[in-house]
Amino acid sequence: MCALNPAPWSSSFRLVAAEKWKTKSAVLGNAVTSALVEYSRPLPDMRVLDLASGTGEPGISLAQRVGPRGSVTAVDQSSELLDIAAERARNKKLSNFTIQQADAHHLPFADQSFDLATCRFGVMFFNDAERALAELCRVLKPGARACFAAWGPMEQPYWQTTMKIVHRHVGGAMLQSGGSNPFRFSAAGSLSEVLNASGFHEVEESTHSLPWTWPGDAEEVFEYACAVSAPFRPMLERVPAEEWPVIRAKAKAAIERYRVGDEIRFGADVVLASGKA
């Protein structure tokens, strides 16, 4: 991808990256997944909705927790990513995990259908967050919780050693004005405000420092970050081909500072928030 070959982005770049890095990216996000699962407090027999599920987490972990009489429905706009999620669930012999291609703003479910909802690193990218969360509130049973994980501020090691280094070279906007912003809810209370406005009550929010560990080398981290960080795509496309070797070298040096043995251990600041329907 862009770290090694600054060719134009294809429409399938996210799928290609998901396939190439699925094992190591699962390790990278494992602590956040585990934290969100524990935060959501799943119980046996629950019917769970996992929004923006992508390749399946935390939905797959939740399916293991709610047991065979419970169920998890994984929703994403990408049918290709959901196919990967379904395959992962089959490999774990989970019969209570199903996929549904859908837009979070228009959920194809009846009112009061679910006992719990989760969303890991997805709520930041809803075009109209208040509308999508109101729709989520609609499909939850009264008193059911919706639980979210969102990125904290950009000023943390993973982003500073990847996208920030690119930005220092090319300048201009790091993220498009009005476009997708991974850090949309990094300010304290900002996600809570939208949850309250969408009809949720007993809203809670806190920031947690969690492991964010890559089981490999620095070059892989940078390639992966470029490949999957879609909101930064316009900035990445501005990089002249001749600049990539210098950028890669600087990123590698910065990332190597977080090496411990065979791992790159960044740590991540993540917002966990919830509300009741």
Find where tokens 């395959």 sit: 87
Instruction: Express each pLDDT in 128-181 by its tens digit.
Output: 999 999 999 999 999 999 999 999 999 999 999 999 999 999 999 999 988 889
pTM of the model: 0.91
Nearest of 227, 258, 235, 28 to residue 161 by alpha carbon: 258
Task: Annotate 103-127 with b (16+ C-beta within 10 A) or e (fewer).
Answer: ebeebebeeeebbbbbbbbbbbbbe
For the chain (length 277 residues), average pLDDT per consecutive 10? 38 59 84 98 98 94 97 94 93 97 96 98 95 98 98 97 96 91 96 98 98 94 90 93 96 97 96 98
Please tell me the predicted confidence (pLDDT) of residue 25.
84
CA 265 to chain centre: 18
pLDDT value at residue 12: 52
May I ask the CATH class of domain 13-276?
Answer: alpha beta
Q: List the domain boundaries for the chain.
A: 13-276
Distance, CA of 105 to CA of 235 (rounded, Å): 28
| pLDDT tens-digit map of 245-264 | 999 999 999 999 999 999 99
